[in-house]
Chains A and B, each alone.
Chain A
């Protein structure tokens, strides 16, 4: 545990010296939000103010995009002699990756706060009580941890940071075929199956219901199950990968 904290501190210090990456992680979701609200929003009818409809999806997109950056950082790390030094000191894969994941979570909490602030400025009007805010934050946190760890695993698999960055695109596009930007009913029928059952849909639905005080249904549990499942697989797979890649 103290190993993981030391390593998280290391990753955070190193992040702080890479302001461009942090800036991108915040700027891109904010820019996307402005594009959707002001360029496309007028043409999309969701039955309410579009900014209010779109913010939960954007928060998830932002979280996925930010977490995916972990992949590149892990790949970068594996290319130096640092991993060998730490391993020769008895540090195993789990604390090594946990450090990256913790740093990713801190980074993304900052980015999420920024996106949310801008959203409130341009007219996002949530109707959530403190408990609902807390629940929403908890769900987003679960997603951040799960996706960051998955990204760390991808980072172990990739040979170059450029390769690892492909994962960022995958996670950025995942929210598009979901209810993030437009209601699923408006999509072609063949896409409904995927859009309704893919992992980010229940998460976006839960955040929307929690923040706008709408009926929740079973979405939060489905979302948590997805996050838990992804995390379990990511931890197991990345542990095996770490051993394999460092032998």
Chain B
């Protein structure tokens, strides 16, 4: 018997290169049983590669990778039976019906014909697809397709669920429906590792967040801890003009959380009290003519992300990392 208190995901020193491009450099990750970890990172940070290694699709070059207590290389079959993957590209057949898609996956998961039929019906019901179950998937909306995709991942009742950008391209309503499902699964004890470019999604769903940048974990903690690390509050100032913006930026002795020359705004972490804000404004603009406006707001994961990676989360170009192989 294996010792029961193993984590759902335990990754130590995971490295992976494609040719001489190092995609992952000694990544450590841990997801507790029933926990939800959001893996954040700009495009090319290595999110998909991490998920591919954890779901046995790609072998790691180095490091120890265990899911549900099983090593993904030496205990591949056992690991595969404990996990489920819903990847970036829809894994359902357009020219099968919803029910047929679920049935096929259930049969491959080792269920008998009768059990597969029951399981398909159950999942259709649970994902509000019973009425659409007999229709070809090509007639489904994006949200229905995603729900079916997730349902197909659940046929084998996985203990650890991997979701690679599960809500990319969904409308806000479908996104909320999917969040609801993930919350229910987590509440029922399924561990979830999801990658996302939406910080709100991480904030809503995850009890822990790991920021992946340039193939390394740049920060890890609860969303609250991460926000605290960026300063609880952020002061955002607007410069009078481009010259003033440049002078402000050159003069500041403080770490800049975010700069945006286009809108002439700079933001700084602050403690949030009036005294600190007043001092900060005076230090930044002793002549009192370069700052035309300011606002004070609570730090968001966006600020954390900016501070750690120097790029907004949804930016698609401009990072120094090469794109990950697409595996298409």
A and B pair up: yes
Residues in A lying within 8 Å of B, measured CB to CB: 2-3, 6-7, 9-10, 13-14, 17-18, 78-82, 84-91, 246-247
Given A17-B136, A82-B93; A247-B58 close (CB under 8 Å):
yes
Given A80-B91, A246-B57; A88-B85 close (CB under 8 Å):
yes
Determine whether the beta carbon of B95 is less than 8 Å from that of A82. no
Determine whether the beta carbon of B85 is less than 8 Å from that of A86. no
- Supply 22 A–B pairs (Cβ within 8 Å), ascending by A: A2-B107, A7-B104, A13-B96, A17-B136, A80-B90, A80-B91, A82-B91, A84-B55, A84-B85, A84-B91, A85-B85, A85-B152, A85-B153, A87-B56, A88-B80, A88-B83, A89-B80, A89-B108, A90-B76, A90-B81, A246-B57, A247-B58
Determine whether the beta carbon of A90 is less than 8 Å from that of B77. yes
Q: How far is the CB of A17 from chain B (nearest CB, A)?
A: 4
Determine whether the beta carbon of A14 is less than 8 Å from that of B104. no
| Number of CB contacts from chain A to chain B under 8 A | 78
Please, what's the 1-or-0 string for B48-65, where 1 marks a CB less than 8 Å from any CB in chain A? Answer: 000010011111000000
Determine whether the beta carbon of B55 is less than 8 Å from that of A80. no
* B250 on the A face (CB < 8 A): no
- 7 more contacts with CB within 8 A, not counting A13-B95, A85-B86, are A81-B91, A85-B153, A88-B57, A88-B85, A89-B80, A90-B81, A247-B58
Which chain A residues border B107 with CB–CB below 8 Å? 2, 6
Q: How far is the CB of A172 from chain B (nearest CB, A)?
A: 25
Report which of A6, A17, A85, A246 forms a contact with B95, defined as CB distance below 8 A: A17
Which chain A residues border B59 with CB–CB below 8 Å? 247
Determine whether the beta carbon of B93 is less than 8 Å from that of A6. no
* B92 on the A face (CB < 8 A): yes
Question: How far apart sit A247 and B60, CA to CA, in the bound complex (Å)?
Answer: 11
Can you list the 4 inter-chain pairs with the closest CB atoms, starting with the nearest? A81-B89, A81-B91, A85-B91, A17-B95
The chain B residue with its CB closest to the CB of A89 is: B108
* B84 on the A face (CB < 8 A): yes
Determine whether the beta carbon of B109 is less than 8 Å from that of A89. yes
Determine whether the beta carbon of B89 is less than 8 Å from that of A80. yes
Question: How far apart sit A82 and B93, CA to CA, in the bound complex (Å)?
Answer: 7
Question: How far apart sit A17 and B81, CA to CA, in the bound complex (Å)?
Answer: 31
Which chain B residues border A7 with CB–CB below 8 Å? 104, 108
Which chain A residues border B98 with CB–CB below 8 Å? none
Determine whether the beta carbon of B93 is less than 8 Å from that of A79. no
* B204 on the A face (CB < 8 A): no
Which chain A residues border B141 with CB–CB below 8 Å? none
Report which of A6, A13, A80, A246 forms a contact with B108, defined as CB distance below 8 A: A6
Q: How far is the CB of A199 from chain B (nearest CB, A)?
A: 33
